[in-house]
Structure 1
Amino acid sequence: MFRRRASVVLLALLLAGPVIASPPAIDPAARNPPPTIALSHFDRFELQPVTLAPGLETHKGNVVARQYLDVDVGERVPRLIEPRNATPVQGEPRTLLIQPEVADIRFITGGKRVLFGGFAGSSWALVKLRLVDKATGEVVAEPQFLQHANSIAAGYSLGAADKLMLARLADMVASYLKTNFDAPVGSAVAAAAPPMD
């Protein structure tokens, strides 16, 4: 019986992919610095697709996670920026580019969760958000956001906890834009933001 369980654990580890480094060591109380100016100084906002940092696209789970995150960000951010983009302006509008990137990740796909549950390990992701003045190329802000999905919770939920981790990251991206609109105040790096309505 012990050999059988050990074989299942070993097989799960092998199928989970190569050994990947631990998530970045970030203080849970860490805060992102505020943008250089309040985001209300911009008249238009352009959300660009979520990208993967170079090299991350070689692992299938990372590509799947990027797709989920792109959908989540695409559901939350437009609700904030569309009213502003529809407001008439005089002269040439000042535009802010919103560029989300998965900078580091370990994502367990649903298929592996169904087969191996918590034995497949924990998921985590670090997302960097670049806010760039389109006219000048100046980086207005570059916050980062870190979230985890516990292996046991993800195993019991058959992967739902892994997907919820990505939804929390999308909430954090949207919250940074909302919180820093009227005044530059920054945000938490690893503490989840309230879900966007």
Structure 2
Amino acid sequence: MIDFSATADIVAPQLLGCTLTHAGVTVRLTEVEAYLGAEDPAAHTHRGVTDRNRAMFGPGGHMYIYLSYGIHRAGNIVCAPEGVGQGCLLRAGEVIDGLELAQERRGDVPFARLAQGPGNLGQALNFQLTDNFSPVTGPDFRLSPRPGEPEWVRGPRIGISKNADAPLRFWIPGNKTVSVRRGRPRG
């Protein structure tokens, strides 16, 4: 069982291989990024509590759903002690159940891209802003443990401009659902 009171950089690799179910679709998580609160300029919580980021300040094991670029709903799983403001961005996953529903939501895209990238994963799982603060233990979300520990690697985060070189992105190497870092081969 994952201890969501641990810091995001500890929780993040533990999420790889776990499954997350929401709104009729299940994905196996293949890529996540850790955001470390006040000490991390890329974190939504870097400057403290706001109405938008309040869910990130605890308790752990809950969802922080937000609008990215005004159109994409992305999600983090909150971790670290309550009040700290850390979380793990869900970057990519492999759809393992509810494929037809995920395809309806995402349109005509290749299988590997159904939940590749935070906005696409949010669309495949039908994240809504009203899902903010929902626990990952049900009833709306269900995070299930992974069978064994997959091989994983870590490296710089992608898609951000601040603190991008911090090795806080974790992924299952060789998995086709993992985001591609522009100008570099798939990890």
- In the superposition, the TM-score normalised over structure 2's length comes to 0.25
More strand by share: 2
TM-score calculated relative to the size of structure 1: 0.24
